[in-house]
Structure 1
Amino acid sequence: MRATFRNLYDQFNMAAFIRDRRTHAMSVLRWALILVPMAATVGTLCAAFLWSLDAVTRLRFAFPWLLYLLPIGGFMVGLLYHLTGRSVEGGNNLIVEQIHEPGGGVPLRMAPLIFFGTVVTHLFGGSAGREGTAVQLGGSLSSGFGRALKLDAEATRILLMTGIAAGFGAVFGTPIAGAVFALEVLAIGRVEYRALVPCLVAALVGDWTCLSWGIHHGAYHVDAMVPVDASLVSKASLAGVVFGLVGLAFAEANHALGGWLKRVIPYGPLRPVIGGLAVIALVWLFGTQDYLGLGTLAATPGGLTIASFFGSNTYPWSWALKLLFTVVTLSAGFKGGEVTPLFFIGAALGNALAPVFGVPTGVFAAIGFVALFAGAANTPLACTFMGIELFGATYAVPIAVACFVAYLCSGHNGIYLSQRVAVPKVPAAHLTPDATLRDARTHRASRRRTRA
């Protein structure tokens, strides 16, 4: 009798095991049928977007007078958003908010609006990036897929994260960093592992699709070789403090100037006009167009690009000028993103710091490339993986150290104000559970007013 019950028990366990595995397999198949076409669509759009950026940048190089149409281009984009895109003006922050608290979703019109707006910004010379466009393309399309398939709130959250991963992985050619970024950017101190595999699949498919369309990403080489010892790691940690503080300054300058412009110029389409005129004035003041656009291509053979900072020459103030051009462009309402300019600023700052620390410029340019972004976006894990994907594993340890130190030193600040503080970097009694960076910034402002 005991043997009979034992056999029944074993059979029951085996049947339960098989049911669990079948349920799991069906879930994997269901997600694959959703993710692959969605990520492939995002990758295709990112390929078209990158091709368009390259084409309009080269067009601007061929016709430098296009710069003087920047205020008009800005007004066109501002008016378009004013008339049809007010619900999507939040950009990346809107997507993060929808992931935290699914509501009406991300409108599908975000995709064509941000695509057009970013291309216009680069055609006329605005200093902006491309990650914002890629993330918004991914978020908008994934939200559209979710609505079409009538997914529940939790599935929609995961799908939005995979859209971010697909866009980020495709536009930079770093799928691992793209997957981790989508998980890490939502909240400081918390990574949503539930979406880990879907985000990785989406990032890989997005990247592979983009590459299959013949898109090639920029390659950066660290030619100098120095031993990765305690001395280099210590220098990287000290430089990480500087990268974190400059990342903080970039974010705060962008928010402060953007907020001031909104108060002074309530009519949205006029703000890019003022910003465009300011960018033209900066070009005349400094006598160079090297700080316009992405910073990946140069109008002249001797012009500065991100790759320039990996060479032997030192450029002490290029990081500050690119920061100035970018803050003026983005705070005025031009579209694009912050990340590629942050790569430029970080690589240039690393190049400037290298002689101070007695390190080859290429090594510190690579570290600064990702560490400053880690501080500004509060994504040290993603930036560490990005550094390894872009520059290899040789300098993985100093890259990781600089990214994490920059993350700590940037405080509860960042370029994405909808990012939540799940685990504070330091004890902060004033932060309620899951407070946003916007809340933290508002609290600091009120405290300053009280002191005044």
Structure 2
Amino acid sequence: MTLARSVLKWILLSLPLGVLVGSACALFLGALERATELRFEYPWLLYLLPLGGALIGWIYWSFGQSVEAGNNLIMDEIHEPGGGVPLRMAPLVLIGTIATHLFGGSAGREGTAVQMGGSIASGIARWVPGLKPDDVRNLLMAGIAAGFGGVFGTPVSGMIFAMEVLAIGRMSYAASLPCLVASIVSDQTCTAWGIGHTHYRIVSILPVESGLHLAPLDAWRLFAAALAGVLFGLTSLLFAEMTHGLHAAFKSLIRWPILRPVVGGCLVILLVWIVGTRDYLGLGVTSPDPAAVTIVSCFEPGGAHAFSWFWKVIFTAVTLGSGFKGGEVTPLFFIGAALGNVLAGIFNVPVDLFAGLGFVAVFAGATNTPIACTVMAVELFGGENIVYFAVACQLAYLFSGHSGIYLSQRIGTPKLALKPLEEMQSLRQARANRRGFLRFVGRSGKKNHEKDETHE
């Protein structure tokens, strides 16, 4: 009876959570699509990006300083419960993200959906009497799952992502049922509101007459997938460190928070002039220009330029690092698909398959969630290539090191490392320790060099 009561409790809590978060995702995706259409229809909106940045900066400075940390705030609240996640996080991040995309900032949508999910879950936790701290923790995880599953149309990977993203190498199964229910309900609610998702097609390499259910493992193709996984992981590392580094630089050089996105907006406009294209603005999923580089075009031969992936890294790091709102995941999809497109030509392997590998593997490396990303590949592209996806995601996860886009993520089980790391320290702490060690080495090297000069 205790088990039955527990199951019933979580179903009753997760169902309304999924409906609310799914509806919020539908509103968000609909508004985001319209904002993107307006940006394409009125190209001059790009030149208002600094003004939009000032508006976002003012809104968060005036009303949102307590929710500025975004996804990291939700993670911190799960790890160490405190004052909860303010309900105003949901409307603030919704407004900020729509403004970012309307004026041409390069950002994603996952962060917004996850923050809305966590905010709504925290609100429900405050309204329902008698919930224990562990119940609130599980409900927040279900909010993450609902936001992820609803915004991407991938309910199973949404559940796994919420359980896997909190701590590297350690999954929490206590919230598996509420995460699954909330993610499925959110996805179905979003669909019921008439919101669709982009379909990506990978041509089958499974011979019909073979009777197999998995694509045959070609030795060269598998080796290429492994090597690509290493490069995807290093790209994840580059993206995370560049985004965090620019964010720190903006905070250090520009004390007034309202001015940071203004400067960032000017830099994005300058980048457009330098590159000579607007392909790297916004989500980058599709474009009315058939010659544009998009995520969809990356699944076709010649659909990306040699450095399309790198320019998307720069555009997104400047946008998010300066204080604009949105997620990192859709830009990571773009970066990975574009890099996979280029590598496919180098390795002489199927372009669509390697674009798909990059799509999920760069994401896996940047979020340290290889299992969720492997399952996501199955939900998006089908299951016959799961071995290739698993290899690429796992190697990307390993070679991204102890870095990631979520600094509040904890290190549950360290990856392969030369020296042991403190268990359950955050990536923020690990990054600070790493930088402190490098400064120490630099000072030591300078002292030794001075001694050598004196001796000479």
TM-score range, shorter chain: over 0.9
Give yes or no for the alignment of 1:327 onto 2:306: no
Structural mapping, 1:54-203, within 5 Å: 54-150=33-129, 151-203=131-183
Match of 2:293 in 1: 304
The alignment partner of 2:232 has SS state of helix
Contact 1:413–1:441, Cα closer than 8 Å, also in 2: yes
Q: 2:228 and 2:290 mapped to 1: Cα distance?
A: 30
Contact 1:180–1:382, Cα closer than 8 Å, also in 2: yes
**Post-superposition shift, 1:224?**
5.9
Contact 2:10–2:177, Cα closer than 8 Å, also in 1: no
The alignment partner of 2:296 has SS state of helix
**Post-superposition shift, 1:223?**
2.4
Residue segments in structure 1 that go unaligned for 5+ positions in a row: 1-21
1:180 is aligned with what amino acid? I
Contact 2:414–2:423, Cα closer than 8 Å, also in 1: no
Give yes or no for the alignment of 1:432 onto 2:422: yes
**Post-superposition shift, 1:256?**
0.6
The alignment partner of 1:418 has SS state of coil
The alignment partner of 1:194 has SS state of coil
Match of 1:6 in 2: none
Match of 1:18 in 2: none
The alignment partner of 2:147 has SS state of helix
Cα RMSD of the aligned pairs, angstroms, is 1.1
Bigger-Rg structure (1/2): 1
- Deviation string 1:282-314 (CA, Å, 9 cap, x unpaired) is 111111111100011214232221010111215
Q: 1:262 and 1:431 mapped to 2: Cα distance?
A: 28
2:50 is aligned with what amino acid? P
- Deviation string 1:247-298 (CA, Å, 9 cap, x unpaired) is 0000000001110110000111110000000000111111111110001121
Q: 1:155 and 1:267 mapped to 2: Cα distance?
A: 39
Give yes or no for the alignment of 1:340 onto 2:319: no
Q: 2:393 and 2:331 mapped to 1: Cα distance?
A: 17
Count residues with an aligned counterpart.
Answer: 431
**Post-superposition shift, 1:228?**
3.0
Structural mapping, 1:15-26, within 5 Å: 22-26=1-5
Aligned equivalent of 1:209, options 158, 172, 189: 189
Residue segments in structure 2 that go unaligned for 5+ positions in a row: 207-215, 443-456
Match of 1:280 in 2: 269
Aligned equivalent of 1:39, options 8, 14, 18: 18
Give yes or no for the alignment of 1:289 onto 2:268: no
Q: 2:80 and 2:288 mapped to 1: Cα distance?
A: 44
Aligned equivalent of 1:382, options 372, 375, 387: 372
**Relative to structure 2, which stretch is displaced further, 316-325 or 24-33?**
24-33
Q: 1:167 and 1:232 mapped to 2: Cα distance?
A: 35
1:158 is aligned with what amino acid? N
Q: 2:119 and 2:257 mapped to 1: Cα distance?
A: 23
Contact 1:290–1:299, Cα closer than 8 Å, also in 2: no
Aligned equivalent of 2:411, options 393, 408, 421: 421
Give yes or no for the alignment of 1:50 onto 2:50: no
Q: 1:442 and 1:90 mapped to 2: Cα distance?
A: 17
Q: 2:168 and 2:72 mapped to 1: Cα distance?
A: 14
Contact 2:286–2:296, Cα closer than 8 Å, also in 1: no
Contact 1:240–1:403, Cα closer than 8 Å, also in 2: yes
Match of 1:410 in 2: 400
Q: 1:87 and 1:218 mapped to 2: Cα distance?
A: 34
Aligned equivalent of 1:400, options 390, 400, 405: 390
- Deviation string 1:151-172 (CA, Å, 9 cap, x unpaired) is 2210000000000000000000
- Deviation string 1:211-235 (CA, Å, 9 cap, x unpaired) is 0001000000112637432322221
Contact 1:224–1:363, Cα closer than 8 Å, also in 2: no
Q: 1:395 and 1:100 mapped to 2: Cα distance?
A: 35
Q: 1:413 and 1:137 mapped to 2: Cα distance?
A: 25
Aligned equivalent of 1:244, options 206, 221, 233: 233
Match of 1:445 in 2: 435
Q: 1:427 and 1:129 mapped to 2: Cα distance?
A: 31
